[in-house]
Structure 1
């Protein structure tokens, strides 16, 4: 019997999988979930409403390493099997509209739902794309299966629950969420933690819920700056109203990526929570706009396969850039396109260029070449035809899956243009059409000016240009090409230019010392960090002065603080009685209480100083199993180096 059952499961895994979308249409999931942080377990009772499209002898849901009980089909117990990857329901199904499958489940998720804990906080959050929601909630990994998810979640006392859709009710630690439309399973989101929120409303009346940690109230405005403006802009620019009931943005600790566009509920890395100074160094604006654009391009319409991934990432990159153009201006827009073109050109030079429809293409290709395709396409067919096509595309394929030809067909209809030559060049070709892109860039006088200023080709006017009213980008180009032209006047330029001055002048001339010291009070944590280090190296006699001046500055992800601690430890006769305390502070930054970027920075300082003590080493060993691949990879590499030295 066991052999026969095993053969049945094996046969289904080969045959049933490919046929399920033709036979079954899962419509709705209602899941009641409770989470036990101490055991790192998920418990749930779920009901799945589905339609049988044609006769079939089994159906399945993806379910990784789960245990099931009380499995009921249309009110009756039903035979099922569990192969640790799927739950299979064995039944003679006939075409029918209303069916319901119910069961209880429990699971210890290995990925996709993460328990992030330290002495200072506890968070639980999900990441479905690339990790599969089926690791914590039975669902369908195939992105072409779109289901309406309504979650009820029980949370420990004192914690907030945030998930997709509108919060209907909150009672005794239970949160009831409602979605109105279907989505791919990878877009299911759940966050549990300690949060406050600020709510704004778009012009169209959509609630915009901006979440933050209670201690980060002063970071709310800089972090979420322009959020409402970008939302209103994109609704108008896209020409298709925001398709969900609410839009939430939630920072989480040690997130796997910059952000993730879960339907109606973007999750993003809390390292983007910045104060007013940090905004000048690393802000959330682009990620904010990118994930918001995905609510249409990715969530509303979803690529059928990896071959068409650019329909999500290229569109999100392009519309984010349009939103930024509305805020920062046309020169910013063209500068970003220029940078993208240079990156794509370099990729081709390295022999790594691929067709936009190659599912193994790089992120650079999917995101930035995809963005360029849309810019070039709009230039070709005109703004009116382009916008009409985008609107028609979204209306026709809303809540469905798409491929590239679906979009191109709409553009051909609206413009009356045969786009085959365009598609062959911009989409199918392995090389990025740099010459054609460059021609489009030269429509911008800003780009013309930037290319005209070239000190390597003609040095005669560069000193004049540096003191003129040319763009910051052109001045930065001069500074990088000819740092000998830097004078006291150069330090009177914009913050952006001064950031580059700090980096370029690693050897500081005596006549520029006072000007360079002024960088320590610039409104940029990156500038403060670079200036502190270079001044400390160049003028040993003033080290204590520089350290006193920057004491108490944390910076962006503690960048200034960590450098300060390292330099203080290496400065003779500076705070001798506090050296042990300073050292212990630096070691403490390697603990799980801090974000992985902070920890990696602290580890690097200690390892460079050969000061990684027992506590530091324990934290490094613990970091090998960190859920964020950057942290775990870093820890493994550093331990391997230490072992080789020993």
Structure 2
């Protein structure tokens, strides 16, 4: 599963922190350091050391008791679910599912006389035991969550039984109890079922992770279960159905309905079962003999062909890397409306949220490879081999997360992959400020709590470090063994360790203990002694809280350049304080520690602005040049920036070029201080191979002199790339001495892409154009996802300036978004927009009411912070 869109963060890669521990000896063990901390715990006049120790012991006992009582075990297996035969029809008006399920099972080990199934919010009809085609009616007890069926006799592991359950499922009942990661738990969703919302397609789709598929069919809804299945779906014959496996039959029923038979004859976990029904167009492709389908709303097929065009290459690349062929009979990718997460890796049928629904022009700048790779890699890690419990979720998500790095490395180069890894680290570090937990953890409160930056970001970076430690050959051979040995099975973290140990011949307990089975991360402080240039001395300190975080064994790579050639040496850090004599021989004036940013650690090292300038000039690694530029900008090191700016604008790594263009927008004086700077920027705007760089260059030219570049902006406003056209149009709008002709803006009024709508909205606000209230209302209704989020501020500003255009209606529309939209970032955007009407007491009252009902705690805290400020 992919939770949300990701952007590369442009924060400094060097994160400073205060050193809280003075280490005076290089030979103390972790035990001794912890003991020293206990001994120096300050006491008060009224507290004896014995009382302090008593409280400490009591606290430890409480923590351990809580860990035992909160332990979430892997699900006990009383039955082995072999096969599910499901016959479904849908009541679109009532948003109900009529089902007949035949389940084939066998007792797992112990004899059983009761069968317990997960079945949430059903109305249960007759239940039968099927024996030699004879039906025997069974008694049962149902609490609307689980169905306990009383069997007529004791069945053993040598017996196979088949039960038939007739039911109606109501996914809408008790919905809305989702999490930050997965915003709802209906399991099955009807989208505009009665076709009453203009512009909204009628659809059904499912989302089963974690244990939500039991909202629409009875099953053993646990990740350590496996079954094959046949889904028979009765659908309007005007619509298309997609499910797992292969479409083996279509039966015309008359009266406008058809029954589609989808067979999944390879076992997989129940949460990975899925269906999607809608008026989809299909783009067909192939990888070898594997059929590929890209399903999207009709009219967007050409965009889908572009968005998903790298899928065949991705499959081939992952097969080659893993040594394991794609394990399923086909692969479909389906884009739906109102999905409750970013995407979901249902076996053979991944579902994506609507931001991947692009027309042909929008798809020119598609940057969705990361999410496509993520869900595809799950077909091996998560679907073929599945975590046995949600406590081990990172065995699914860390690999899918790391696939994004692997694909970037293969397709777009090591520089882009390395910066992607840094952004993953920063995401984890941000979460670690308020949450530090074991990566493998059995004490979670809700299973959805596992979908966090630990399971995803941290897990992915840890796999990268494991790969670096073992070598590519050993790492990928180990993954091949892991996948083949455990194919169609459930796994826990030690299965991965043992496979890698078997291949490499190396004990990896130390690595798994400190990274997978403990919490936190190293915090490192480095000092470099350059007094002997031919034998540089490096001192390294681990300064993390050793009471709650391990003392790590770490590979520390030190690199330097001799005559432009990169050299390196790796030290293995196993102590709280350690020194490395580089023994470089040839005099060196500057070294780099973890230059490629491969280590998950916060680090501090004293470096001057001159040293960062040298780093930018001599480093062969794009991520290190990016870091140097970012650090110089943060320090406002003007002299050094003047020196490197011309090089930065011509850097081989597009992200460096884009970053420096963004920086130059903040200070117009740079334009006059670097010879040829404006000409270079103009050249980038016209000819850079990366559209994001061209757009950033146009933004900069608009900041410097919008009047001068009006002809350029006018020409590029018609560029095929929306990124470029949007920046050019905003450049036209930025002209104040000679405002753009309204007729030109009128040409773009009906354009549906948000990148064009935003400069049009800016023009109407800036030029105080009235009579456009309906245009703003229409755009609000048509936009979705991130485009809607970016538009909300302009929407609010227009109606706050011109209330006669429909202020009350605008407020109501924003309130509806804030109250009802399933996406937390859109609810937040609506809240931010409503703050533009903070002078209206009714708005503030309503904001307080909605904030009090918000279920997302982070969002609730955000609301309350601003509301307290206003009050």
Tell me the TM-score range normalised by the shorter chain: 0.7 to 0.9
Q: Which residue of 2 aligns with 1:608?
A: 797
Query: Would you say 1:102 and 2:177 are equivalent positions?
Result: no
> Are the equivalent residues in 2 in contact too, given 1:107–1:136 (CA < 8 A)?
yes
> Are the equivalent residues in 1 in contact too, given 2:82–2:228 (CA < 8 A)?
yes
- Partner SS, residue 408 of structure 1: helix
- Partner SS, residue 325 of structure 2: coil
The 1-side partners of 2:416 and 2:116 are apart by 50
Q: Which residue of 2 aligns with 1:115?
A: 190
Moved more, 117-126 or 594-603: 594-603
State the 1:72 CA deviation: 0.2
Cα 1:85/1:461, change in 2 over 3 Å = same
> Are the equivalent residues in 2 in contact too, given 1:69–1:103 (CA < 8 A)?
yes
- Partner SS, residue 266 of structure 2: coil
Query: Would you say 1:644 and 2:644 are equivalent positions?
Result: no
Query: Would you say 1:379 and 2:464 are equivalent positions?
Result: no
Moved more, 286-295 or 377-386: 377-386
1:303-382 equivalent positions in 2, closer than 5 A: 303-348=387-432, 350=433, 352-358=435-441, 363-382=452-471
The 2-side partners of 1:19 and 1:473 are apart by 44
> Are the equivalent residues in 2 in contact too, given 1:254–1:596 (CA < 8 A)?
no
1:618-637 equivalent positions in 2, closer than 5 A: 619-620=813-814, 622-623=816-817, 624-631=819-826
Q: Which residue of 2 aligns with 1:7?
A: none
> Are the equivalent residues in 2 in contact too, given 1:603–1:616 (CA < 8 A)?
no
1:126-165 equivalent positions in 2, closer than 5 A: 126-130=206-210, 132-165=212-245
Moved more, 625-634 or 280-289: 625-634
Q: Which residue of 2 aligns with 1:83?
A: 143
- Partner SS, residue 377 of structure 2: helix
Cα 1:562/1:97, change in 2 over 3 Å = farther
- Partner SS, residue 542 of structure 1: coil
- Partner SS, residue 594 of structure 2: helix
Cα 1:476/1:625, change in 2 over 3 Å = closer
State the 1:629 CA deviation: 4.8
Moved more, 440-449 or 284-293: 440-449
Q: Which residue of 2 aligns with 1:189?
A: 274
Query: Would you say 1:167 and 2:357 are equivalent positions?
Result: no
1:431-580 equivalent positions in 2, closer than 5 A: 431-433=520-522, 436=556, 439=594, 441=596, 445-453=621-629, 455-456=632-633, 457=637, 458-483=640-665, 484-485=670-671, 487-493=678-684, 494=688, 495-502=691-698, 507-509=703-705, 513-514=709-710, 520-521=717-718, 524-533=721-730, 535-539=732-736, 541-544=738-741, 547-548=744-745, 551=748, 554=751, 556=753, 558-565=754-761, 567-568=763-764, 571-572=767-768, 580=771
- Partner SS, residue 249 of structure 2: strand
The 2-side partners of 1:63 and 1:510 are apart by 63
The 2-side partners of 1:567 and 1:511 are apart by 15
Moved more, 354-363 or 27-36: 354-363
Moved more, 191-200 or 128-137: 128-137
1:196-345 equivalent positions in 2, closer than 5 A: 196-203=281-288, 205-275=289-359, 277-279=361-363, 281-345=365-429
> Are the equivalent residues in 1 in contact too, given 2:204–2:276 (CA < 8 A)?
yes
Moved more, 533-542 or 105-114: 533-542
**Per-residue CA distance 1:120-145 (angstroms, 9 max, x = gap):** 42111111114601111112222112
The 1-side partners of 2:464 and 2:212 are apart by 33
The 2-side partners of 1:628 and 1:445 are apart by 37
Query: Would you say 1:48 and 2:103 are equivalent positions?
Result: yes
The 1-side partners of 2:270 and 2:361 are apart by 38
- Partner SS, residue 644 of structure 1: helix
Moved more, 129-138 or 47-56: 129-138
State the 1:82 CA deviation: 1.3
The 2-side partners of 1:612 and 1:540 are apart by 31
- Partner SS, residue 154 of structure 1: strand
Cα 1:36/1:586, change in 2 over 3 Å = same
> Are the equivalent residues in 2 in contact too, given 1:554–1:560 (CA < 8 A)?
yes
Moved more, 305-314 or 279-288: 279-288
TM-score between both structures, scaled by the size of structure 2: 0.65
The equivalent position to 2:264 in structure 1, one of 179, 193, 196, is 179
The 2-side partners of 1:447 and 1:402 are apart by 35
- Partner SS, residue 418 of structure 1: coil
* Count of aligned positions: 621
> Are the equivalent residues in 1 in contact too, given 2:355–2:785 (CA < 8 A)?
no
The equivalent position to 1:124 in structure 2, one of 204, 212, 218, is 204
The 2-side partners of 1:188 and 1:258 are apart by 17
The 1-side partners of 2:520 and 2:388 are apart by 24
State the 1:93 CA deviation: 2.7
- Partner SS, residue 125 of structure 2: strand
> Are the equivalent residues in 1 in contact too, given 2:393–2:450 (CA < 8 A)?
no
State the 1:628 CA deviation: 4.5
> Are the equivalent residues in 1 in contact too, given 2:713–2:729 (CA < 8 A)?
no
**Per-residue CA distance 1:432-479 (angstroms, 9 max, x = gap):** 457658627269633344445564452342233145444222333433
Moved more, 134-143 or 101-110: 134-143
> Are the equivalent residues in 2 in contact too, given 1:281–1:525 (CA < 8 A)?
yes
1:63-82 equivalent positions in 2, closer than 5 A: 63-74=119-130, 75-82=135-142
Moved more, 631-640 or 45-54: 631-640
Cα 1:166/1:489, change in 2 over 3 Å = same
The 2-side partners of 1:237 and 1:125 are apart by 32
TM-score between both structures, scaled by the size of structure 1: 0.87
State the 1:59 CA deviation: 1.5
Query: Would you say 1:397 and 2:495 are equivalent positions?
Result: no
> Are the equivalent residues in 2 in contact too, given 1:606–1:612 (CA < 8 A)?
no
**Per-residue CA distance 1:221-257 (angstroms, 9 max, x = gap):** 3211211111121122221122221111111012122
The 2-side partners of 1:19 and 1:526 are apart by 48
State the 1:293 CA deviation: 0.4
The 2-side partners of 1:35 and 1:583 are apart by 40
Unaligned runs of 5+ in 2: 1-71, 173-185, 253-257, 525-555, 558-592, 599-619, 672-676, 800-804, 846-871
State the 1:400 CA deviation: 1.8
Moved more, 246-255 or 109-118: 109-118
Query: Would you say 1:26 and 2:81 are equivalent positions?
Result: yes
State the 1:402 CA deviation: 1.3
> Are the equivalent residues in 2 in contact too, given 1:27–1:147 (CA < 8 A)?
yes
Moved more, 277-286 or 218-227: 277-286
Instruction: Say which structure, 1 or 2, has more relative contact order (CA 8 Å, 6+ apart).
Output: 2
Cα 1:420/1:268, change in 2 over 3 Å = same
Q: Which residue of 1 aligns with 2:608?
A: none
The 1-side partners of 2:701 and 2:450 are apart by 38
State the 1:368 CA deviation: 2.2
- Partner SS, residue 461 of structure 1: helix
State the 1:289 CA deviation: 0.9
